[in-house]
Structure 1
Amino acid sequence: MTVTVLFAAGEALWPEYAPHLRAAFDEAGLDAALVTEAEPGAVDYIVYAPGSPLQDFTPYTRCRAVLNLWAGVERIVGNPTLTQPLCRMVDPGLTEGMVEYVTGHVLRHHLGMDRYIKGAPGWQQIVPPLARERVVAMLGLGELGLACARALKALSFAVEGWSRSGKTGLDIPAHHGEAGLEALLRRAEIVVTLLPRTAETENLLDARRLAWLPQGAVIVNPGRGALIDDDALLAALDSGALGHATLDVFRIEPLPEDHPFRHHPGVTVTPHIAADTRASSAARVVAENIRRGETGEPLLHRVDLTRGY
C-alpha cells in the first residue's frame, strides 16, 4: 500500500529535498508518494520544518509521525494541536559539521590564535598549556554534545560534561544539577553550550553562573541563543571577567546590525553556520523513520513532548 508523505517544510526547501527524499524512499524499499498538497485525512507522514504554514495538526488524523528536518524542536513542540509522534533530526552530516565547528573554535581559543591573526605587536611568545591541562565544559550531552566531547577528548582535552537530567555510563565525566554545574564551571576555561532550549535552560548562563567561571574563560555557543543572558554576557566581557565569546546562535536571527555583539571586541559572531541539515543524509533519516513506522519498530529520535526535546 502506498503511503502518502506530505512535505510541509516550506517551498524554498522543496527543490533541494524532493530528489533526495525520493531516492531515499526507493533505497529503503518504500512505496511512498511524496507530495506538497493532500487531503489531511489521507496523509501518513509529515516532513516538517519550523516556520511551515502548517500549524494546525488536528485534521491529520491518519498521520503516524511528524518528521522534523531540524535538530531543534522548540518552535513546534509547544503546539497544542500536535498529538502525533514528533521526531527531531539527527543527521550524520549535521553532527559532523557541529564537531568541526566546535573543535575548530576550541582549538582557536586554546592556542590563542586570535592574537596572531589580528597581528599582535612585537614578538609575543605565549606558549599555551597542553590540551590535557585545559578543562573544557560541555553543557549538553545529547547526540551533538557527546560527539563534540569525544572529538575533544581524542585531542586530549580534559573534557567534562553537564546535563539537566544526568547521564551515566559515559566515557567522559558527567555532572548534573546546580551543584554539579557550579563545580564544573568553576574549573572550566572553555565552555561549549549544546543544550536544547527549554524553560529550564533559558538564561542558564546568567550573571550569577557566569561569575563562577575562572578569569578569562571563553564561551563557545553553537546551541541556542537563549541559553545565555545577553546583558550578563556583555557585562562579563566588559569587566574582563570573560575573555571571549564565540556565538553562532542568537535570540533574533539574522542578528541586527546594531546589536552590541556585532561590534564588541570580545565577541566573534558567526551567522548560524555551525551545523546544517544536509538534504542527502537527512533524507535517509526520514526514510528510515517511515520504514520503522510501517513495520512497527520504534521511531528514531522521538521527542518527549513533555520535556521539550
Structure 2
Amino acid sequence: MADTFDGSGRSAESRQDEQHQQRWISTKSFSSGRAFNSQNWRIKADDSSNAPSSQSLQPQMDSPRPTLGKQLSQVPQAIIEGRRLYVGNMPYMAKKEDVHELFAAGEFNIERIDISIDPFTGRNPSYCFVELETKEQAEQAMQQLDNRDFLGRPVKIRPGVAKSPTDRSIAKVDGSPRTESERPFAFDRWQRDDASAHFKGYSEQGRRLYVGGLPKLSNQATIDTEIRKFFKGFNLEAVSKLISPSPSRLMGPGNHYYLFVDFPNPKEAQSAIEALDGKKGPWGGKIRIYRARGDSWKPDERQKWGAVRENNLSTAAKTNAAA
C-alpha cells in the first residue's frame, strides 16, 4: 500500500514515528519509576558456618569466582588487593563529583572513580566503582557509608569484583588511544568525562537524528557496532540506547525499535538522511531517518530534585519555627 501524506508532506508512517519521540521527551515526574524504586545492588552470599548446607549450592554473586575462567593476572590489582568498591542503589542523576564528595566527606583517599554517564540523558546506570588507597580504607568505607543518604537514596557499598570478562572493571585504563578496531563504542560512557554535557543543543543544532525501524538488538556493544556499520562512511559521535516502542506498536508487523545518533555537524547529519533514509537495513525492512525534535527531559532531574529538596527544607524549617 502506498504511503499517505499530510499537508506537510510527511507520511503517516513518519507521523507515527514522531509520536515515539514524545516518549523520549516525556514530562512525567522525576520522582517516580525505576530510578527511585529499584534495588539495583548486589548481595554477597552469607558464608557463615551457621548457614544451611543448601546455601553452598547457591551462586555467590560477589565472590571472586575463579570459575569465570580469568587468569589472576587479568583481574585488576585493586580488586586483588580489596581496594575496589561497588557503589549501588545510586540515583540516576548522580555524577562523578557527587561520588567523590560522598567519599571525601569521610576523608577516604580516592584513587579512581569509574562511572558510566549516558551522553543522551545525563544518567548513570545506578551504580559505579570506586578504588581507595588501601584495603583498610575500603573496609571502613563499607562500614561508614553503607546506607548513607546519597541524593535522597540509601547508597549500598559492597566489595567490587570482576563479574565477567566484559566487566568494565577490566576495561582498558592505561590512557593509550584506542584504534577503531579496539573501540567498541562510538561514545565510551565509562572512559569519557564529558558525557553529562554532551546532550545539550544537539537537536536544536540539527546534529541529532532519529533512526527507526530497528529490531530488538541484544546489548549496547551490538547496537553500537551494527549502527556504525549501517552509517559506514559517516562520523558518528554517539549512539543512544535502543528505545522500545509502545506495546500496541510492538505487536504490529515489522521492526519498531528506535534510537538516536549524533553527528559532529548539521551538514553531515543531513547527508546521512539523504543517503540512508528509506534504505533497507541489515536486519530487513527499511530504516527511517530524520532530524530529532527536542531533548530528553531526564537531564533536568537534578534541578527538579534540588527545587523539591529546598522546598521541603523550607517547609520543615517553618514548621519547626511555629512549634
> In which range does the TM-score fall when normalised by the shorter chain?
under 0.3
Greater Rg by CA = 2
